[in-house]
Structure 1
Amino acid sequence: MATASSIEQQIEALREQLRHHEYLYYVLDAPEISDAEYDVLMNRLKKLEGEHPEMLTPDSPTQRVGGKPREGFAKMAHSRPMLSLDNAYNEEELRAWDQRVRSGLPASEKVRYVCELKLDGLSMALQYGAAAKAAAQLERGLTRGDGSIGEDVTSNVRTIRSIPLSVAAKKLETAGLPQSFEVRGEVVLPQAAFLKMNEERVAAGLAPAVNPRNAAAGTIRTLEPNIVAQRRLDFYAYFLLRDGDTFLPTHTETLEALKTAGFRVNTHAKTVDSIDQAVKFIADAEPLREKLGYEIDGVVLKVDATAQQRRLGFTGKAPRWAIAYKFPARAAITQLEDVLFQVGRTGKVTPVAALAPVFVGGTTVTRATLHNADEIARLGVKIGDYVNVERGGDVIPKIVEVVDDKQHPRGTKEIVFPAKCPVCETELVRVEGEVDWRCVNSSCPARVREELLHWAARGVMNIEGLGDAMVAQLLGQSAVLEELNAQGADEEEVAPVVPRTALIHSIADLYRLKREQLLSLERVGEKTADALLAQIGRSKEAGLARVLLGLGIRFVGERTAQLLAEHFGSMTALMEASVEDLEAVNEVGPKVAQAIVDFFAIRKNQHLVKELAALGLVMTAEKRVVGTAMAGMTFVLTGTLPTLTRDEAKSMIEAAGGKVSGSVSKKTSFVVAGEEAGSKLEKAEQLGVKVLDEAALLEMLKTQS
């Protein structure tokens, strides 16, 4: 009779065999056994674990698919923000970035770059913790989310077979990794899996997914791990952290450590000694797009040395030591079948081309923007024309030109821009000096819909659960939305009419919603209703800057909203401000100031603000005391300052009322130069701009204080 010890040894031996074969198949693409042989081993392990449940461990290969989350996905803070990358679209921009990197480091230091393919998927953070026998075990998988807080999708991440559920002690030692570490990388859906998934969707009477990236993102957030497992997602690792920080000397060594630990690392990566070599890598990489079996949209360059990365630091949203070179947009020829007219949040009417379906850059395109009436005239396009469609930045489809040759005859039907709003039939207005026609009816159903979606968006009021489908139901548009989805239309392509039976007619109505009203909607249960009401309630505390952003004032983006909130401190003070008062705010010019005054001069907008305040929304912010001695002065920072970082110097200048620019011109008041100042210092000297060192800057700040 087998002893407990011998059974445990059998179980562990089977686990090691299965892990080995998973690594060969899913990471190295070099299987040694057939699927049938793998299944025999798996079934044998399942049988033994079923007979001895006390020996079951979370990192067993049998545990890849577990139960679904009970209440959706919990939110968790990242150990370190998952920032986006700045982009370069041509060689000139790439070389300018190279110069910025070199100017931020001592001239004596050699700079090397690591070139990697930019995978077109979704970012993921995998956190591993200490396990028995000095191994490391997968504890958590987080989506990027807003960069600071992600969603815990561990149950789904466990189904991705190129992600190790555990890393053995021997591998950790060889790779130089601690038991607790974090791996970041990209989840992708291979093209073959994407095509198979769409075949199944079409066979089931569902609309096909738009592209592999969106399909991967949707898959990783489904509440059914079994579905995730069937989709065959893949994971490529490219970053390694310990306690929220990098710890190996170079990025090259990081990639090698990840490989050694058993993670899949993209083989198309190279460490180069110059920007010229990086340019060659990019030129060689672009033709690979059609051969790889997964989507890429560019090449990422990273400074190799970790110490140099730390010295270069970060801007507010991206590392200075990395950049994404985006490949040129891909294009295809198709026929323009019709033109629809979309009404946006501000009343802007945008012509949208309805196209014969065409595959461009991994996506089936059926719609493209025509921007405005002037663009239609410039293109000379007619319905029935064949057009060249391009995905700008591989994302937004647009018509580049009309194709006119023997194989592609011209169309004959003129595109007539409407004189009235296609939704509410209000006469359209075109402001002198602008290209856009607008519906000026603030109660236009199309505008209400777009206002609600903008208000609820991430980065604005962040009301999770108030997406397209929910807004459609609240506005009584569900039937129309289903029809549009069946036609493959995107939510922004057409603006359906809001019936009189709508539960809400304005942003303020959101905060009057009752539980019983939500429960009366289709597919809305108690948990969904309670969760949405909780999200709406929490949004009341978002603060003045978010409310300003949510109101959708023209030209007021996230930074301007924050500056206005910090300057005025309350909605009341802002609404009473004159154009001159507003122009006194750093970075607010005449155009923005006038737009703000015009917005609050409209009675409907005044009434909305009063309603929101009465409903309990926070309309105040902590005022930031800004000096005036440097008002009107523009500074440019260059080189490495002795004691201040650039961000610290920038904050101090702005607090004194000054403005910091990235380039030197005749309008520059002062250039603040540190060590290795570079070309900006040279240009300042050529233009006769006064140059300060750190001591002179601090003395100036002290004087104004």
Structure 2
Amino acid sequence: MTDAQTAAIRIRQLRSQLEEHNHRYYVLDEPSVPDAEYDRLFRELQALEAEYPQLISAQSPTQRVGGAALAAFGEVRHEVPMLSLGNAFAEEDLLNFDRRVREGLGELLPAGDLFGAGAEVEYCCEPKLDGLAVSLLYRDGLLVRGATRGDGTTGEDISSNVRTLRNVPLQLQGSGYPPVLEVRGEVFMSKAGFEALNARQLAAGAKPFANPRNAAAGSLRQLDPKITASRPLQFCCYGVGQVEGELAATQVGVLQQLKGWGLPISGELKLVRGAGQCLDYYRDIGARRSTLAYEIDGVVFKVNDIGYQRELGFRAREPRWAIAHKFPASEELTELLDVEFQVGRTGAVTPVARLKPVQVAGVTVSNATLHNMDEVARLGLMIGDTVIIRRAGDVIPQVVQVVLERRPAAARPVQIPEHCPVCGSAVERTQLVKRSKGKETLSAGAVYRCVGRLSCQAQLKQAIIHFVSRRALDIEGLGDKIVEQLVDVGLVSSPADLFILRYEQLVVLEGFADLSARNLLAAIDSSRTPTLARFIYALGIPDVGEETAKLLARALGAMERIRQALPEVLTWLPDVGAEVAHEIHSFFAEEHNQKVLAQLLERGVELQDEGDLHAEFAACTTLATLIDKLQIPFIAVTGAEKLADKTASLEALIALSQDWLALSVFKNLNEKARQSLRDFFASPANCLRARQVEEQLRAFGMHWESPRRAVAGLPLAGQTWVLTGTLEAMSRDQAKQQLEALGAKVAGSVSAKTHCVVAGPGAGSKLDKATELGLPVLDETAFLQRLQLLQAKE
């Protein structure tokens, strides 16, 4: 056998393996190998194809990255027209559609029951993805063409671009597929993918996309396939067009066949009977719309029986056997009447659009967020403009675009106020500090802040509202209005003042009486024993959310260690970067915050579950990582390791830096790095700082010379659990806390990686998905028994 023949066999093997891995990763969400192994196989295939270019095929996974740019798209004529669907906007429209279907089928339907109820039609239901309709043509299982819908009769040839989509098989899997198979579906972009793409666009100084649909359409119609390959596009098929051969006799059956051949179909696909169940599906997915990973604008209902579809046929440009039940519009036009500025908990002065009221997605919208002045500038927004407003689910409405052709002559620019609209203090633009290797770079931030801090009542009110919120100290009955009242009358000027409120102060306030005053004091009193994690979160440290608060509490174990922690020490904790570490350190270094913290503890707040440093962080440092954390210019990780090997201690390192002769013969650093080391430790301030960091590492027990401690394995470590439905014995938050305490990660969606699902009454699609995947499912009784068993072993 020749070398070329051997290479051809290996190339076929590699292509088959890589396509299988692609299918598992992008379609099934069940990756079968680590990324490193996939990359190794991919590089091996690239190398073989480079050595034997005559063996390169359009079906090779290496060709997904895109070839040369096109001068223009060719035309494709659809053998079977890609028709649009009729729309239903109200329940009555859907009921009329169902009536027309039953009338059109007439005697083909089985007879109704003895009570006079008519026969019900089976419908295939799936969400209507907000993307771009495309056609994929397979011949003998090989992808030979991709096309846009175009005008339904003629589209554009986008074959080079659809090949770059990772979840589109270049060759169908399995067997039994027709010799000619045209698959139709939607190319779309997930919400997360859209946000990541826009972040890259802004970072590159390019214009961001208005919405995921525009982003998907724009990405798919690039003349350069390499651009398409760089975009997070996905494909989901919903039917077929031209077919030479036999397929299943039902719509659901056809889609399941396509899935078996490696094509992605909707995870929300469902078979129902009658208009009533169609409406149930519409309401259910509408309620979950904002939690889906992708945008949808309605639901598509299709008669499931293919024979019935043929009988019903078409009218004009749409089938009689399918309809799109659209959700209320999520985008509308309205007028920007004014821009006002609100002051938040951290002093951020945020522009808010005041709009001419308009109905968007079934809700009257009169306000919309503008985020910050950079967003105002990006939009080119002026007061008086006509704007496009978007509202999706429960998301705060946003201004997404200005309609420039409608701008009036009297339009006025939006100006940031020089003084705080609440307290009159100066408003200043934030400075972004970028710290790297011993130097700080300042640049203008996107946020403007009131400098009045807690002398500004808006900031004080928001800080206390956060402090008492459900996920913080959870003081029942202390809502926004009461907090504002307590601040306005001067009873509360910091969170600590809540714990010295007296009955006679409250009972005389408007809205209070004997019982309400006593209830509030009782709620405040019961909040005096928060967990350390809740207390840290309640303090409102900038950039410290619930997860970071839990990490600080779990890792450092005690308020005093967290309060003292230097930024360099904090960065040893996972997911705590330099900026967050400086925010935490600066918060506890601020005199006012120190005073409030002391008052809280003096006034009876007793933190729970404080203890030792977590065992996994005991002796977790090395001298090399300490050198790296000092951010000495021109000394990277490798240089730090070589210095640590040479010196073995910080004091020896400082001595080496000042010994010109010894350092000059240390050949593991170049001259620039050696000079940088000399300069760094020539500064007494840098020497002092390095010694302070080492001293704190030693005091905390994190130093490399500290005693190591065995890490007790948590029983659910590494497992992912999902909670769905209603729990009666405890809240979902309480269940989440108990699972996390046992080491589990609690996720919001079910996948093949989920270890177990807890399903209470009212569980819906998550339970269905778990059942479909064959995952363990516990009801509440079984869940509580499992918790008791695990906690008993702890």
TM-score interval for Structure 1 and Structure 2 normalised by the shorter chain? 0.3 to 0.5
What TM-score, normalized to structure 2?
0.43
What TM-score, normalized to structure 1?
0.48
Higher normalized contact order (CA 8 Å, seq sep 6+, divided by chain length): 1
Q: In terms of Rg, which structure is larger?
A: 2
